[in-house]
Amino acid sequence: MAGVRRNILTDATARDRYIEGARALKAEHLGPTTAQLGIPGPARQVSTWDLFVAWHHTAMNRFTPATQTDRNAAHRGPVFLPWHRFMLILLELQFQRVLDDDSFGLPYWDWAADGDRSPAQQRRSELWNSDTMGGEGNPVTTGPFAFDGAQAGSWRVRLDVDAQGRLRSTDRGLRRALGQSVADLPRTSDLAAALELDEYDRAPWSTTSEQFRNRLEGWRPQEKAPGLHNRVHVWVGGDMLPSSSPNDPVFYLNHCNCDRVWAAFQAQRSEPPYLPTNSAGIALQGHRIDDRMYALLSRPVTPRQMLDVEDFYTYDSLDVA
């Protein structure tokens, strides 16, 4: 049964089930310890949730071919959207398993709707209420992902990165600093401008490309950088900033909304649904339509396999701008 992904701020059931599933996956220790994975620092149990943190980090630090130092295996190039779609599907399947509910769909945060409000109102969004994501802090001390070292149910960050960007073992609370690095979230007008672009992507297939993928990822236009997806990460701040950003459950709410925007872009256009094609040179290895995307937790798939995913999920609305 295909799940339906719903707005976390308008569907209390989707909100509550997401929180329940996230906490269950965080408490599930089926995998190896950090020491067995070769991760520096004290040996810690690695939860199912933490494995997705490790996957995202390693993808950001994987460059194929080795001379490719701008595009990595999941960002800064065409594969950004299909790679994260693949990640969301695998996580959604884990939620369905621990919730015993094959109709569960990951919720999304319509951050552009919040972005149309004043900066002060954005920080008071219902998303940061104690019954949703909780608030900000170092550590976060409110909501279902709060930290209290004396409590067994505290949300504990087990993997993060050091000053050199290397993955390490740790044991601390979640960090957020809302609106500190940039003052405001993206607006619906920013999304509308991205949806008006003609092509999915275009040469040079990087952070300087002028088409939809790069605009949604948030590298262009430079006059309001970071934009869209990147701006959300920076606005939330704290643990949403480094390569270990999936530590914060808000990460998936952001990426579900990005995927929803891509789904809207797809629904409005016909061929070609994805660029570059297989005829692109070896410098684009890992980003061409039939290249195998980097996988750590499953067998790899290709961008082409991520273009039609209605058998896995749909959205309650593609009205994004």
- 98-152: per-residue pLDDT in tens? 999 999 999 999 999 999 999 999 999 999 999 999 999 999 999 999 998 877 7
On the question of pLDDT at 166 being above 80, the answer is yes
Continuous segment of H or E residues that includes residue 167: strand 167-172
pLDDT band at 220 (very low <50, low <70, confident <90, very high): confident
Q: Which of 50-54, 65-69, 237-241 has the lowest mean pLDDT?
A: 65-69
Percentage of residues in the chain with pLDDT exceeding 70? Answer: 99
pLDDT higher at 243 or 33: 243
Task: Give the mean pLDDT of the chain.
Answer: 94
| Short-list 31, 12, 15, CA closest to 23 | 15
What does the pLDDT read at residue 110? 98
On the question of pLDDT at 67 being above 80, the answer is no
Domain 3-315 in CATH 1.10.3470.10: no
What does the pLDDT read at residue 165? 92
Cα distances (Å, whole numbers) of residue 312 to 2, 15, 184, 221: 5, 19, 33, 33
Continuous segment of H or E residues that includes residue 188: helix 188-195
Would you give the distance in Å from CA 103 to the centre of its chain? 21
What token pair was written down for 239? 């643990």
State which amino acid sits at residue 132. T
Length of the chain: 321
**What's the pTM?**
0.96
What does the pLDDT read at residue 321? 85
| Short-list 135, 105, 80, 94, CA closest to 258 | 80
What does the pLDDT read at residue 270? 74
Provide mean pLDDT across the span 253-272.
Answer: 93
313-315 and 3-5 beta bridge pairing: parallel
80 φ, ψ to 5°? -50, -50
Number of C-beta neighbours around residue 157 at 10 A: 21
